[in-house]
Amino acid sequence: MGKPLSVLLVEDSADDAELLELELLRGGFAPSIRRVETGDEMRSALIATSSWDVVLSDYHLPTFSAEAALATLQESGRDLPFIIMSGVVRAEDAVNLLKRGAHDFLDKASLARLVPAIEREIRDAHERVQRRQAEERVRVLSLATEQSPVSVVITDREGVIGYVNPKFEKATGYSARESVGRPIDFIHRKDGGEETYRAMWATIRSGQEWRGEFCNQRRDGQLFWEYATVSPLEDANGAITNFVAVKEDITVRRSYEERLLRQANYDELTGLPNRLLMLDRLEQGIAAAHRRNISTALLYIDLDRFKNVNDSLGHAAGDQLLKEAALRLADCIREGDTLARMGGDEFVIILPGVDDGIAVQKVADRIVDVFSPPFSIVGQDHFVTGSIGISMFPNDAADGQVLLRNAELSMYKAKEQGRGRYQFFTRELNERMQERLLLESQLRGAAGRGELRLDYQPLYDLRINAPVGMEALVRWRRPPDTLLQPGSFIGLAEEVGLIGEIGDWVVATACKEAFGLFNGRRNGLRVAVNVSPRQLQGGAFGDWVRRQLDETGLSPDQLELEITESVLMDDSPETGMTLRKLCDLGVRLSIDDFGTGYSSLGYLQRYPFDTLKIDRSFVVGAMTDPNTARLVETIVTMAHGLGLETVGEGVETAEQLDFLRGCKCDLVQGFLLGRPMTPMALDGQLG
Ligand code: C2E
Ligand code: MG
Ligand code: MG
C-alpha cells in the first residue's frame, strides 16, 4: 500500500489525468484524485473536503486556467501546495505565477520530477502550518505577557534584562527602556537579602526553577515585596539561554505578617521587646557568652509603688508612667543591649558580653539615677523608683530560666531593703530559694497529714473586764520537728495557691473546736478566724462557711472572720459578693491590722464590717509618739461613728492597756492578757 494522497486536479484531459495517476502509483502513493475543469467545480471541491494534500493544475484549460485556479485557491483561504503541470509555457508566464504563490512548475512531458516535488511541497506546507501555529502561539503569549497582571522579566544567561512587561514598569516605576540592558537585580533592596539572591542564582544556574520572596526598591525609593518564580529557559540542546522571572506583588500580605510578628514579639504600649523576644535574646546572649567565655548580665527591674499611681490616677496615667519609665530605661543601655517589658511594671535589661560586675553596677547606678527625678503625670509630680535585681551568667545560673528567676529573686530582696536600690544575686539568696522550694513541697498536703493545729489567743473586753472569745492562730509542725508560726508559711501558701487548702482546714477546725469550748457557756462568746483575701476571690467561700456552721452547730454570730485591710482596695465583684453573703449568714466581719495598708476609714463603709483591729505597731508607736497616739484616738472615734467595735492588738504592757482604755477602745488582745495557747489551756480561762 502506498501513502494516501488526496489530489485536487485542475485538468480538462481525462487521459492526462490517467497518466498522472499512474505516475503517482509508481511513485509509491495511493492517490485519490478529484478532477475539476471550472472555477465553480473547484470551489465546491475545496468546500466539500478539507483533507486535500495538493492542488495540481494544467496551465491552460478551455474555460479555466492555472492563474484562475490559483486565485480560487487563495480566495478559499486554504494553504495547499499548488503545482502547475503544463506543456510549453513562456518563461515569464511561469515566473509570474510563481510570484503570485504557485509552488512549482512541472513539464507534462517529463513527470520524473512530479513525485519528489509533491513530497517536498507537502513537507513545506506542513512546516508552514507549524510555523504559523508557532507564530500564533508566540503572538498570544506575548499578548498575555504584555497584558499580564504580574510582572514578567526575561534576561539573558548573565541576568541582563532583555524584556520587561508593562506590569513590571508599573510596579517598579522603571520604564522598559531604563530596565533593558541592566542586571536583573538592579531593583533589589541593597541591604539584606544577599542570602536569598545567592540561593536563587545557585538554583537557576543549575537549571532548576526557584521560588521565593524578594524585597525590592521602587524608583521612588519605596520598598515592596514580591513573590517570584524564576525559571531557566533552555535551547534544544538543553543549554540555558535565558531566565524568565514572573513576580507577584505581596507587599500587603507581608506587611500584615510583619504586623503579626510585631504583635507577637513586642509590647504594644512601650514598643519594647516583650517577654517572648526577651527570652530569645537571652538565649542568644548566653550562647554567645558561652562561646566567647565572657559573662552576660540580666537586670530585673520592678517599679516601686506603681500600683499606687495606677489605682489612684487610673490606667491611662499608669500607661503614661510606664512609657516614660521605658524611655528612661532605654537611656541607660547601649547598642546591643536589650531592654524588654515583661508585663505590668516589670522590665528586663540584658547586657550581653560584660567583663565583670563593675560594668553592670554602673548600669544599675544609672538606672537608680534616671528614676530620681519625679514623673510628671497628669500635671502632678510622682516619685517612682525602681528596684533592681541582678544575676550573671555563668556565675549565678547555667541557663536563661534560672538566670531570670535569680534576678527576680534579687529584685525582691532589693525591695525588701528599701526600694530604689539594686541587689546582686548571692549564694545566700540561692539557699533561701532552695529552702523555699523545699518548704512549698512540704506544705502541700500538710493539713491532710495532721501537721497543722490551732492556738487560741484570748480577746479581752475592756467594758466588762472579761474575755469574750479568742482568735484562732494556725501553727505548722513541720517535719521532722519544728513548730512554724504563720508568718513563715502563710505568705508562701498564698503565693503558691495552697492557702485555700489550709484556710478551709482552719475554718472547719476553728468552728468545731470553738463549739466544743463554748458549749453550755453564755452567749456573746466568739472565735475570730483569719482569712486570706485570696480565699474570698473564688466565690465558693460563703457556702463553705455555711456548711461548717451547719455541721458543727456553731452559731453564725459566734464566728468572726478577720480580713486584712488590702481587701478594702479590691473592688472585684466576687470579693464583694462573698463578703455580703457572709454578712447575710450573720457571720461577723473584722478588719485586721488596720493602719498598715493604704485604705482610709471611708473605705470601711463599702463593706459590712463589725470590728476594726488596730495594728500592734500603732499601739507600740502611741507610747512614744504623740502623733501616733492621736491617730489611734481618731481611729477609735471614727470607727465608733461608723458603728464598729475596736480591738487594740499586741498589748504587752499595762501602759499600753491604760492608753487604749483611755481611747475608749472596746477590746484588747496581747501577751499581757494571754498568749496564744492550746484549746485545753484556754478552756480554763473562758467564763
Ligand atoms: P494577726 O491576725 O494580726 O494575729 C495576731 C498576731 O500577733 C499573732 O501572731 C499573735 O501571736 C501576735 N501577737 C498577739 N499578741 C501579741 C503581743 O502582745 N505581742 C506580739 N509581739 N505579738 C502578739 P501569729 O500567730 O504569728 O500570726 C501572725 C499572722 O498570721 C496573723 O496576724 C495573721 O495575719 C496570720 N494568720 C495566723 N493564722 C492564720 C490563719 O489561720 N489564716 C490566715 N490566712 N492567716 C493567719
Ligand atoms: Mg488576725
Ligand atoms: Mg492583726
Residue in 443, 454, 473 to alter for ligand 1 test, most ligand atoms within 8 A of Cβ: 473
Alpha-carbon distance of 221 to 544, in angstroms, equals 70
Distance of CA 302 from the midpoint of ligand 1 (Å): 29
**Which residue has the least CA distance to atom 10 on ligand 1?**
676
CA 365 to mean position of chain CA atoms: 34
Nearest ligand 1 atom to alpha carbon 651: 18
CA 613 to mean position of chain CA atoms: 48
Q: What is the pLDDT of residues 599-631, one digit of tens each?
A: 566 667 777 899 999 999 999 999 999 989 998
Q: What is the pLDDT of residue 349?
A: 96
Q: What is the pLDDT of residues 193-202, one digit of tens each?
A: 778 888 888 9
Helix (H) or strand (E) holding 16: helix 14-26
Which ligand lies nearest the alpha carbon of 562? 2
Alpha-carbon distance of 294 to 350, in angstroms, equals 14
State pTM to two decimals.
Answer: 0.52
**Which residue has the least CA distance to atom 38 on ligand 1?**
473
> By percentage, how much of the chain surpasses pLDDT 70?
97
Distance of CA 220 from the midpoint of ligand 1 (Å): 74
**Which residue has the least CA distance to atom 12 on ligand 1?**
650
pLDDT bucket at 598, cuts 50 / 70 / 90:
low
First and final CA of the chain: distance in angstroms?
137
Q: What is the pLDDT of residues 627-666, one digit of tens each?
A: 899 989 988 998 898 889 999 999 999 999 999 999 999 9
Residue 456, classed as helix, strand or coil, is strand
Which ligand lies nearest the alpha carbon of 594? 3
Of the listed ranges 155-169, 250-264, 371-385, 650-664, the least confidently predicted one is: 250-264
Residue corresponding to grid cell 498568749: 675
Q: What is the pLDDT of residues 43-79, one digit of tens each?
A: 999 998 888 999 999 998 899 999 999 999 999 988 8
Residue corresponding to grid cell 533592681: 388
Distance of CA 537 from the midpoint of ligand 2 (Å): 19
- With contact defined as beta carbons under 8 Å apart, do 495 and 436 qualify? no
Domains for the chain: give ranges and CATH numbers: 3-132 (3.40.50.2300), 141-255 (3.30.450.20), 265-425 (3.30.70.270), 438-683 (3.20.20.450)
Backbone angles phi and psi of 31, in degrees to 5: -80, 145
Alpha-carbon distance of 594 to 615, in angstroms, equals 5
Q: What is the pLDDT of residues 278-304, one digit of tens each?
A: 999 999 999 989 898 899 999 999 998
Residue corresponding to grid cell 494556725: 474
Of the listed ranges 179-193, 316-330, 382-396, the least confidently predicted one is: 179-193
Q: Is the pLDDT of residue 190 over 70?
A: no
Question: What is the arithmetic mean of pLDDT over 301-324?
Answer: 89
R_g over Cα of the chain: 50
Give the residue among 302, 304, 409, 404 at the shortest CA–CA distance from 350. Answer: 404
Nearest ligand 1 atom to alpha carbon 652: 18
Nearest ligand 1 atom to alpha carbon 615: 3
CA 190 to mean position of chain CA atoms: 29
Distance of CA 471 from the midpoint of ligand 2 (Å): 7
Residue in 530, 620, 671 to alter for ligand 1 test, most ligand atoms within 8 A of Cβ: 530
Ligand 1 binding site (Cβ under 6 Å of any ligand atom): 457, 473-474, 485-487, 490, 503, 506, 530-532, 562, 592-593, 616, 649-652, 669-671, 676
Distance of CA 497 from the midpoint of ligand 1 (Å): 20
Question: What is the arithmetic mean of pLDDT over 531-550?
Answer: 91
Nearest ligand 1 atom to alpha carbon 531: 44
Backbone angles phi and psi of 426, in degrees to 5: -130, 165
pLDDT bucket at 109, cuts 50 / 70 / 90:
confident
Q: Is the pLDDT of residue 212 over 90?
A: no
Cβ contacts of residue 619 below 8 Å, gap of 6+? 632, 648, 649, 650, 651, 656, 659, 660, 670
Here the cell at position 388 is: 533592681
Alpha-carbon distance of 82 to 326, in angstroms, equals 90
CA atoms within 13 A on the CB side of 672: 16
